[in-house]
Amino acid sequence: MKRALLLILQFIFLFKMNAQERVITVGVQVKPLFSSKFFGTGPITLNDASYEYFVKPKSGHAIGLVVRRGFTPSLSLEFGLNYTVRKFELGASNGINSATSDLRIVGYEIPISQLIFIRLSDKIYMNAAAGLCLNMFPTDVFKDEETFLAYAGKNNLLQPSLLANIGFEYRTKENGYFYIGVSLNRPFSNIYEYRVDYINNKDVLNTAGTGLNGNYLSVDFKYFFHEDPEKKGKSKVRK
């Protein structure tokens, strides 16, 4: 939490800086979402004496708008609004019978990041970014299958997460900016609590549960429309 507060203070300070470039660009972005065991986004398996359950993250997606405020040739602030879909495959088995289903969690994101750019050539830039994201989850999710019941209940309507990003950008004066990068979104706590009941003839035979952390990796595709730098006000000169 101390690190998060420090980042927020940095953002406030940057907004008050006397900017050199004074460029505001608006764009759109599309982000395919992926899972990775290394970053804690791999499958979760629950076992007991007779039953096995798993929750396996699948590829999802996010789309949204993004606004970037340039301060210097190498320093910018970026924020936006995204619609996200996280997908999971659910499974339950007792060694004889098994069943699988899909779970879909819809959310919204308000990300804000501080970007640092390194110019590699006349039009190509490399960037690294870090920031915070406010994740919003409006509903719980329920799946009713023949052999199991699955329920995912959100822990909170609003949940913060940590953002990290690295990427490359191709800039043109006439046609805007084209960006591709990789991001990690890591919530500070579990976004949902997952529970599954294995049933037979409407009788609940076994129950298990775990938390869903909501971490994801994404490949980010962004396009920024061309904008001219903001001009400082000039005093009129009397002839």
pLDDT per residue, tens digit, the chain (239 aa), is: 455 445 544 544 444 443 335 678 899 999 999 877 766 666 777 666 567 777 888 889 999 999 998 888 888 999 999 999 998 887 777 667 677 778 888 999 999 999 999 999 989 999 999 999 999 998 888 877 666 777 888 888 899 999 999 999 999 888 889 999 999 999 998 888 887 776 666 565 556 677 788 888 999 999 998 766 655 444 444 44
Domain assignment of residue 167, yes or no: yes
Domain assignment of residue 234, yes or no: no
| pLDDT at 97 (0 to 100) | 67
Alpha helices for the chain (secondary structure H): 2-15
| pLDDT at 182 (0 to 100) | 95
Q: How many domains does the chain have?
A: 1
Domain assignment of residue 235, yes or no: no
Instruction: Find out whether 189 and 159 touch, Cβ atoms under 8 Å.
Output: yes
| pLDDT at 195 (0 to 100) | 79
CATH assignment of the domain containing 62: 2.40.160.20
Domain assignment of residue 210, yes or no: yes
Domain assignment of residue 232, yes or no: no
CB under 8 Å to 11, separation ≥6 — which residues?
77, 112, 114, 131
Instruction: Find out whether 223 and 176 touch, Cβ atoms under 8 Å.
Output: yes
Q: How far apart are the C-alpha atoms of 37 and 72, rounded to whole Å?
A: 37
| Residue range of the domain that includes 19 | 2-224
Domain assignment of residue 174, yes or no: yes
Domain assignment of residue 197, yes or no: yes
Domain assignment of residue 102, yes or no: yes
φ and ψ of 179, to 5 deg: -130, 140
Q: How far apart are the C-alpha atoms of 29 and 25, rounded to whole Å?
A: 13
Among candidate residues 233, 187, 215, 222, the one with its CA nearest the CA of residue 76? 222
| pLDDT at 101 (0 to 100) | 77
Instruction: Find out whether 216 and 182 touch, Cβ atoms under 8 Å.
Output: no
